[in-house]
Amino acid sequence: MVKRLRERRANVWEEMKGIADRAADENRNFSAEEQGTWDGLNGELEKLDTRIKSALDVEERAKQADEAFERIAGKPAEQGAQQRGSDDSELRAFLRGEGPREYVVQPTGRVDFRDLSKLTAAAGGNTVPTSFYDRLVAHLIETSSILQSGATILNTASGESIQVPKTTAHSTAAIVTEAAAIGESDPAFGQVTLGAFKYGTLIQVSRELLNDTGVDLEGYLAMQAGRALGNAFGAHAITGTGSSQPRGVVTDATVGVTGPTGTATSFGSQSTAGEGADLLIDLFHSVISPYRMSQACRWIMDDTTAGAARKLKTTDGQYIWQPSVVAGTPDTILGKPVLTDPNVAAPAANAKSVIFGDMSQYFVRLAGGVRFERSDEFAFNSDLVTFRALMRADAALVDLTGAVKVFQHSAS
């Protein structure tokens, strides 16, 4: 099944290239019919990506289920699986109202948030033990492009303010003649304070659902809470002002390229020098090589911008956007992964619609674990059990020397 979906994805991409090639060869914009076909194919491409990911998730769950049944048949379980099963039992007891009213979700040992983004989503009967914390963070990461991008995660037990040095200028050197004084050139530093802004959500569940052991309740709560917290924090991680909320990456990033007049809502004309693909190539090279070589170097843009970027070609007729050949990995522009985020501005006058650079220079501070609390009285008249999820976080770009740049559209 996955093979057929991948083949269809490749065919759709070739059809899209054919439409764009014809328009480029004739030096014209898409006709209304071509634009409609392009939009339809672009939508199908996104649906195919989703289906491929879902199919791979099903295969992975089937593999895990086979391993679980082998353990049931008498084969020894791994120590880690035993521990996770114990955690789930404790969580189910908490959800039923047996034990304390608070359940603090904490990581054990080192947590690699980037790897967690590859976990499968919870769905259907829960036959395989899976850490509730891992699943909740997986949903949090899948919702926020910043947490997928390789941002540096600072996980602290408490929420007191912490001071993080930020670089505002580097040292410079020059040729010095014999016996002449060497000029001083110190790097310039500042400080950014990372606090712990509180994000919260309420989830209500029927008592019948709580008592139904056939429902993957942990997965349901992880999905709902993770998405809600991820959506709220993710918006601030892109455009947060820093006033009573985290500082977004766009807020601190410098402008690498400004579009010329006529690019207020687009990348301009492919046939005009300095427009079209040239703008993204210029943005790519506005970030210096050490940052571009980082494993965390990424493009981030919204879906509208991504749709426009798919059409861009270099002067020799090559698309700068290349689809991934491995399901589950991002497509690339000029060899660097592309992430989409609805919180990045769409093309508009003076809008900053494309982010590019070393995202490891964006620091995300998570204070403690995610706290879950249960109330049986809040919705007593409806026989609903209420759960409250809380997370404390802050973020800011700590390298202001040009590690991350943005493309800004012209005013007109």
Q: Which residues contact 359 (CB under 8 A, 6 or more apart)?
A: 146, 149, 150, 151, 249, 296, 297, 298, 300, 404
Is the distance from CB of 371 to CB of 390 less than 8 angstroms?
A: yes
- pLDDT at res. 200: 92
Q: Strands, DSSP E only, in 195-287?
A: 197-206, 254-258
* 172-221 per-position pLDDT tens digit: 666 777 777 777 665 666 677 889 999 998 888 888 877 775 666 777 77
Name the nearest CA neighbour of 371 among 143, 146, 202, 227.
202
Q: What is the mean pLDDT of the chain?
A: 79
Task: Tell me which H or E stretch contains 224.
Answer: helix 217-239
CA atoms of 367 and 361, how far apart (whole Å): 19
- pLDDT at res. 258: 96
* 319-335 per-position pLDDT tens digit: 999 988 777 788 999 99
- pLDDT at res. 215: 62
Higher pLDDT, 11 or 301: 301
Is the distance from CB of 346 to CB of 407 less than 8 angstroms?
A: no
> Is pTM beyond 0.75 here?
no
Question: What is the SS3 assignment for 393?
Answer: strand
- pLDDT at res. 347: 96
In this predicted structure, which of 87-96, 123-132, 327-336 has the lowest mean pLDDT?
Answer: 123-132
- DSSP notation for 66-84: HHHHHHHTTPPPPHHHHHH
Which amino acid is present at 51?
R
Span 367-380, average pLDDT: 82
Name the nearest CA neighbour of 267 among 409, 154, 158.
409
Pick the most confident of 32-41, 108-117, 126-135, 332-341: 332-341
The confidence band for 387, taking pLDDT boundaries of 50, 70 and 90, is confident
Kindly calculate the radius of gyration of the chain based on its CA atoms and give it in whole angstroms.
Answer: 25
Tokens of 393: 């976080």
Is the distance from CB of 362 to CB of 403 less than 8 angstroms?
A: no
Q: Tell me how far apart the 2 most distant CA atoms of the chain are, in Å.
A: 88
Which amino acid is present at 245?
Q
